[in-house]
Structure 1
Amino acid sequence: MGSSDVKYPEFFNVFLPHLCSTNVKIPNAFVENISKKIPKKVVLKSRSGKLWAVALGEMEDGLYMQEGWSRFVMDNKLEAGDFVVFKYNGHHVFDVIIFGLSGCEKEQEGSSVKEKMADEKVKANKRGKDNRNASDGERAVVKRKVNKSRNYEKQQQGGMGLV
C-alpha cells in the first residue's frame, strides 16, 4: 500500500446554533479510532487554505472543539442545518468542507491564522505590551503545526518536504 493510499478518519456535524455555536463535540467513535493521541490544539483548514486555531478540551461526555470554534463559526457564517465535514490528516490539522441547505458546498470565508497573527501584533503594539506573551507562544505552535502539515502533504504528493 503506497503512502497516497492512507485513509484518514473523518466525521461530520450538522450545525445547530443552540447546541454548537461555542463548542462542538467530536464523536466518541472518531476519537476511539485515532491511532495517535489527539493534541490539545488543532488547526481547521478550509479548501481555500484559510486556517483557524482551535483548542480541544475534555468534558464529561467527550472531547470538544472549544476556544477558537466560535470564531470559525462566525467567519464561515454557519447557519442552522449546515453540514460540516472534518477530515483529520494525522498531524494536528482537520481539513473542513461546509455544505449548505442546498446540498452544495458553501464558499468559506474568514481570517487566516496569518491575518489573525498580524491583527494581534498590531493590538499588542497599541497596548504597548511586550510581544513575548502567551499568545505569541500559541501562534508559534500553530505556525509549527501548519508547517509540519504542509511538509507532510508534500511528502504524500511525492515532494521532498521534511517533517
Structure 2
Amino acid sequence: MAIPAANDGDLSPSTEQGFEHNLGMANPHEPHFFKPLLPGFQSGVIRTSLSLFTIPLAFFSKHIEGKTNQKTWKLRSDASDQTWEVIQEDRTLTRGWKDFTTAHDLQIGDLVIFKHEGDMVFHVTPFGPSCCEIQYTHPHIIKEEADAGDADDNEISKS
C-alpha cells in the first residue's frame, strides 16, 4: 500500500485525512480491540492468572465501564448467521465464550479483533497463526463430509 507523500515533509490536513483513509483507521464510533489467544483462553475462569479472556483495561475503561449496566455481549462473525450471547463479569468474558470459541475452532496463538458496533454487539474477526483472517466455508458441512470420507478410506485401507 502506498502512503501518500506530503509536500516538503509536512502533513497538511487533507493529506492527514487521506493517510488515515488509506490505512483504514478505525471509525471512532466503532472502537476496536484485539486480543491474542493464550493458554486457557476458553476457560472463562475469573481471577486465574493468565488463564482467561480479559478485555483490555484501556478499552474497558473508555467504552464499557460506566457506559452501560448490560453484562451480556452479543458476538457476531462472518463465519455464521448465528449470534452468540456471552456474559461479561468484571473485565472477563465468561458463560458463552467457550461456545463461541468452539464454534469458530479458535486455537492458542490465534488473534481476535472485536469491533464494538453499539448496544454491546461486537463483530469478531479471527486471525490464525499465519496472521491472515481465518476463512470459513460452511465448517460443519465440510467437516461431516470429510469425516465420512475418512471413515470410508480407513475401511478400504484396513481390508
Which TM-score band applies after superposition, normalised by the shorter structure? 0.5 to 0.7
Number of the residue aligned with 2:75: 44
Within the alignment, does 1:93 sit opposite 2:114 as a pair? Answer: no
- What is the Cα-based RMSD across aligned positions, in Å? 2.2
* Aligned structure 1 segments of 4 or more residues deviating by more than 6 angstroms: none
Q: Tell me by how many angstroms 1:7 deviates.
A: 2.7
What TM-score results when the alignment is normalised by the length of structure 1?
Answer: 0.56
Number of the residue aligned with 1:22: 43
Q: Tell me: CA distance 1:57–1:76, structure 2 relative to 1, closer, same or farther (3 Å).
A: same
Within the alignment, does 1:12 sit opposite 2:34 as a pair? Answer: yes
Question: What is the alpha-carbon distance in structure 2 between the residues aligned to residue 42 and residue 7 of structure 1?
Answer: 17
Could you tell me which runs of 5 or more consecutive residues in structure 2 were left unpaired when the two chains were aligned.
1-26, 45-52, 141-159
Question: What is the alpha-carbon distance in structure 2 between the residues aligned to residue 27 and residue 43 of structure 1?
Answer: 18
Q: Tell me by how many angstroms 1:104 deviates.
A: 1.3
Number of the residue aligned with 1:114: none
**Higher RCO structure (Cα 8 Å, ≥6 apart):** 1
**SS of corresponding position for 2:63:** coil
The answer to which structure has the higher helix fraction is 1
Q: How many residues are matched?
A: 102
Question: What is the alpha-carbon distance in structure 2 between the residues aligned to residue 12 and residue 44 of structure 1?
Answer: 14
Q: Does the CA contact (< 8 Å) of 1:50 and 1:110 recur in 2? A: no
Larger Rg: 2
Q: Tell me by how many angstroms 1:8 deviates.
A: 1.7
Could you tell me which runs of 5 or more consecutive residues in structure 1 were left unpaired when the two chains were aligned.
112-163
Question: What is the alpha-carbon distance in structure 1 between the residues aligned to residue 103 and residue 37 of structure 2?
Answer: 14
Residues 102-126 of structure 1 deviation map (CA, whole Å, 9 limit, x = unaligned): 1111134679xxxxxxxxxxxxxxx
